[in-house]
Structure formats: C-alpha cells, structure tokens
Structure 1
Amino acid sequence: YRALSPRAKVVVGLIALVYAAFTLVIIRLGPHGLLEWLAQFSTFFAQSSLGPLILILLLILLSFPPTIGYGTVITLCGLSFGSPLAAPGNSLGYAWFIAASGCLLGSVTAFLVCRIALDTHGADWSWVRKVRQGKEWKAMEKAVERKGWKMILLIRLCPFPFVYSNLFFASLRPEVIPMPFFVLATLATTPKLFLHVFIGAQTFEAIQAGRDGGEAATHTSGWFRLFYVVGASALGAATSWYIYHETKK
C-alpha cells in the first residue's frame, strides 16, 4: 500500500468504503431481509423482457476486479428464471444459460480489457511489476506454461476468486494463454454455475412457500443440494491441492 501513488491510494480507499458499505447493508438487512430484497429484484427481472439482458450486462460488469457481487448475480439468475413459480416458461436450464452467457462474455471482456491495459501501462505501474516478479506469481505462471489449458481449467474449478482469476490470466504472456484456450477452459467450467442457479431457484420457491404458508423444498432437492455442495467442495479441494503441488515444482 505504501508503494502506491496518492491517486492509487484514493482509489483503494474508495473501494474499501464501498466494501464496508455493502457489509453494513447486509448486516442491517439480515439473512431473511437480504433474501426478501433479492426476491423483489428477481420478480422484477422475471417480469421484464429485458431481465435476461440486464443480468448478463451485470455479470459482464462484475467480471472486472475489484468489483464484488458476481456470485450474487449468478444466484439471482436462479431466483429470477430458475423456477416456474416466478414466471411461466422459467426453468433451471434457462437460468443456467443466462448465467453461463454472462460468465463467458464477462470473462472474455475482462480478459481482453485487462490484457490491453497491462500491456499498455503495466510497465508504468510499480505494484504490477512487483506482483509479476513475486515468487508465487512466477510459480503459477510456470505451472500454467507447463500444463497449458489443463491448468487454466483447474484454476477455474478451484476456489480462486473469479474476477481475480480473469486478471491473473490476462497478466500472463499471450503465448502462455492464447485466447482460444482461455475461452474453452471458461466454457468447460460453466456447468458448476448450475449449483448457484439451483440454490437461487430453491430460495425463490422457499420464499414463495413461506408467503403462501406452504412447504418449500422437497427431500429430493435437499439431498441433491447436499450432494452437489459436497461434490463441489471435494473438487475444489482436490484442484487446489494439485495446483499447489504443481507450483512447487
């Protein structure tokens, strides 16, 4: 932080204030209030003809670091379009398609913009030079260079923050990560978004059932959610261990 320019310190300070404001809002609303608030948004998106487009545009915007809320918008896709109770014709497949489209378009856009910015101004930013010269960064770069698209895929699957993985991939040399490899690896990992979409759809149905005085999820959906969460956690742990092992070579 001390190595940053005064302008950069102001930007970091503003980002910290935004993060703090979001945290206070979440604490103030509480879990139930936050879900109700998201449910109201989901109803608006579900009833609007521009709902899918707005969500995709939000995902594109939130694919850039250091923004927050990408995962929330993915879940919002499920809240808005994952359940037929929200609007006729809705389904998990449709919600996943919206989320996957936003994920892919956002990744590619962030990748290109960050790569151009780093290629143009990276040499002028001292913090960029320091990060790129770091031991861990160089180890990750060498691991990606050795394994190619396979390592890109694994990094996408591990619990690495999505927006910062876009920045990481963009910072590597084009010969290490060509655009086609990046696109294919990102596309191959979009099925994992189904979990967030499913949770969003189940949350909407639970809220709707609570309003109507009925019951929410069935035992089948509960077991499915548990299986998916356990499987995703195991996959994330395995990929994280493998990536750590590769960076130590």
Structure 2
Amino acid sequence: MFAQLIPFLKALPRRILKWYISMPRYAKTILWLWILFEIFLVTVIALIGPSRVAQFLYDNAEKLAQSQFGWLIIGLLIACISFPPLAGHTTLTGLCGYAWGVPTGFYIAAPASLIGAAFAFTTLRLSFRKRLHNFSKTNEKWQALESVISAKGLSLIILIRMSPFPPWVYSNVLFASIGSVALWQFVVATLFVFPKLFLHVYIGSLLAALSDGEQRKHMDTQLKVLNGVLIGGSIFITIVASWFIYTSIQAHIRSLPGIPPEIDELAAEAIEDSEEAPLLTSV
C-alpha cells in the first residue's frame, strides 16, 4: 500500500493541473472566488484572533441550531453542493456536528447527503444521456470500467463509492457517467459512506466544545488536551482509512478474477483519471 504512495504524490500535481484545465471557464471562476474567500477568511482570523472568531462562529451556530428552519437550510445547502463545480460537503457535514452535535447533526447530514447525491446522479444522467453514450463508444478505458462494473455489480460499486478519490461531488458525477450503474445501486452504495459522514459530524461537535469560551472555562487542561487529541486522531484515522481504501480498491480492480488483466488495468486507470469522466467536462 505505502509503496504506491510516492508515485501517487508525484502524479498528484499533474492530475490537479489536468483537472483544472478541463474545467469550464465559469467553474474556474467559481474556484478562484472560493480560493480568494479562503484567503480572506484566514486573514480575518489572524487579525481578529482565533478565540474571538471561534466564539463568534459558535454563537451563530447556536442561533442556527435554535432557529425553526436551520436544519432545512443546512440540508438544502448539502444537497446543492452535490453538483459540481461546487464544493464543501465535508465542511457542511462538520457544521452539522458543530451546531447540533451528535447524533442530531448526523440525522441532518446523512439524509441530505443521500438525497442530494441521488438528485445529482439522476439530473446529470438524464441531461447528458446522449453525450454519455457517444463518449462510451469511443473511450477504451470507459468501456473497460463499464464492463467490469457490469460483471461485478453492487459489491464493486460500493467499494468505489467508499474511495476518497474522486471527492464527494465528483464521485456523484463519476457514477452518473457510468451507464451500467443503476440509481438504486448508487443509493445503496452511498449508504456505505455514512460512517465517514458520522466522523465528520463527530469532529464538528468536538470543535464546538473548544470554540465556546464558557465551556472552555469549565475544562481542565487534561480535558482540553483530550479533545484536541480526539480531533487530531479522528482526522488522522480518516486520512489513513481513506488512503487504505483507495489503494485496496485499485489493487482489487487490477486483480479481479474472471476478467482479462488488460481490462482490469484499463478500468483502474479510468478511476484514477476520473477527471476525464464524460459528464465532468459538461457541468
């Protein structure tokens, strides 16, 4: 597994550049606006002070949680960012934990994620059906991926869906681009992502406890350190688990029984080069 890490990291800048070049102009504009917003946000935090910003965020999260339709607003936002080129699924699911805690935050994040993903899948599949058909006829990698998924069915779809690459929003488009994946299979596979969503919500709830000055006053040093360790440990576990799942899936696809090795290799390459998915250049 770790032997593949260095080649993957070396190829990552090229893949990012390739993905950026393939984006439509309006998507690039949205991306740069998001980057500028992040730079502005970091600057504001540095000038005002992390503790004051954290308290401000906590107070407003409390207001959101106490409002009558706060859960609906966040749910709709999670559903909306299921469409590319929008991003922020991890942030919003973490916000559910930050504002509502566990388990309420999960009860908001999970259904909204499932509905948003299913809606994105259906909309893109119906809107670009002709483009998908034409692309599949001429792309060897995509033909291999579709044939492998047709042969192995739901179990393989679940494994690919659990992979962290491509990220959530582009994973939705990837599966919408694979004609052999049915909506019900995509929905079932998405359910297997829920443990990772729960971890996002849990991390958000821990951050909320450290953000509120009143709660921090009642924490001794050991409890503060424990919360920090839990947050760092949860993030570390997420990263390691994601990398393990990704490398395991790639190895599994390359050695599927009953399928020619060259087809397995092309299918694995299609997932690695998921930025070339036919619908990604159309949205």
Query: Shorter-chain-normalised TM-score: which range?
Result: 0.7 to 0.9
For residues 53-92 of structure 1, the C-alpha deviation after alignment (integer angstroms, 9 at most, x for no partner) is 111100000111110111111011001100xxxxxxxxx1
* Structure 1 unaligned spans of 5+: 2-7, 83-91
Cα distance between partner residues in 2 of 1:220 and 1:20: 32
Which residue of 2 is the match for residue 27 of structure 1? 42
Write the letter of the residue equivalent to 1:159.
Answer: P
Which residue of 1 is the match for residue 206 of structure 2? 202
Write the letter of the residue equivalent to 1:69.
Answer: G
1:70 corresponds to 2:103: no
Which residue of 1 is the match for residue 249 of structure 2? 243
Cα distance between partner residues in 1 of 2:57 and 2:150: 41
Give TM-score scaled by structure 1 length: 0.77
Cα distance between partner residues in 2 of 1:141 and 1:22: 39
Which residue of 2 is the match for residue 105 of structure 1? 115
Of all paired residues, the percent bearing the same amino acid is 29
Cα distance between partner residues in 2 of 1:219 and 1:189: 29
Question: Is the Cα contact below 8 Å between 1:78 and 1:197 reproduced in 2?
Answer: yes
Question: Is the Cα contact below 8 Å between 2:158 and 2:192 reproduced in 1?
Answer: yes
Q: CA deviation at 1:150?
A: 1.8
Q: CA deviation at 1:12?
A: 3.5
Write the letter of the residue equivalent to 1:77.
Answer: C
Which residue of 2 is the match for residue 184 of structure 1? 188
Which residue of 1 is the match for residue 74 of structure 2? 55
Write the letter of the residue equivalent to 2:219.
Answer: E
Higher relative contact order structure (alpha carbons within 8 Å, sequence separation ≥ 6)? 2
Cα distance between partner residues in 2 of 1:200 and 1:12: 28
Q: Any idea what SS the aligned residue of 2:87 has?
A: coil
- Match for 2:63 among 35, 41, 44? 44
Aligned length: 227
Cα distance between partner residues in 1 of 2:249 and 2:27: 29
What root-mean-square deviation, in Å, do the aligned CA atoms of Structure 1 and Structure 2 show?
3.1
Which residue of 1 is the match for residue 197 of structure 2? 193
1:168 corresponds to 2:187: no
**Does the C-alpha gap of structure 1 residues 215 and 139 become closer, same or farther in structure 2, counting only changes over 3 Å?**
farther
**Does the C-alpha gap of structure 1 residues 232 and 13 become closer, same or farther in structure 2, counting only changes over 3 Å?**
closer
Question: Is the Cα contact below 8 Å between 1:142 and 1:247 reproduced in 2?
Answer: no
**Does the C-alpha gap of structure 1 residues 146 and 227 become closer, same or farther in structure 2, counting only changes over 3 Å?**
farther
Bigger mean CA offset, 208-217 vs 152-161: 208-217
**Does the C-alpha gap of structure 1 residues 212 and 13 become closer, same or farther in structure 2, counting only changes over 3 Å?**
closer
1:148 corresponds to 2:158: no
**Does the C-alpha gap of structure 1 residues 207 and 114 become closer, same or farther in structure 2, counting only changes over 3 Å?**
same
Question: Is the Cα contact below 8 Å between 2:207 and 2:231 reproduced in 1?
Answer: no
1:133 corresponds to 2:139: yes
Cα distance between partner residues in 2 of 1:241 and 1:34: 38
Cα distance between partner residues in 2 of 1:139 and 1:22: 40
**Does the C-alpha gap of structure 1 residues 246 and 53 become closer, same or farther in structure 2, counting only changes over 3 Å?**
same
Which residue of 2 is the match for residue 87 of structure 1? none
For residues 147-195 of structure 1, the C-alpha deviation after alignment (integer angstroms, 9 at most, x for no partner) is 322222222322120000000000111xx21111111111132122111
Which residue of 2 is the match for residue 96 of structure 1? 106
Q: Any idea what SS the aligned residue of 2:78 has?
A: helix
Q: CA deviation at 1:93?
A: 1.3
Bigger mean CA offset, 112-121 vs 35-44: 35-44
Question: Is the Cα contact below 8 Å between 2:55 and 2:213 reproduced in 1?
Answer: no
Q: Any idea what SS the aligned residue of 1:150 has?
A: helix
* Structure 2 unaligned spans of 5+: 1-16, 18-22, 255-263, 265-283
Q: CA deviation at 1:243?
A: 2.1
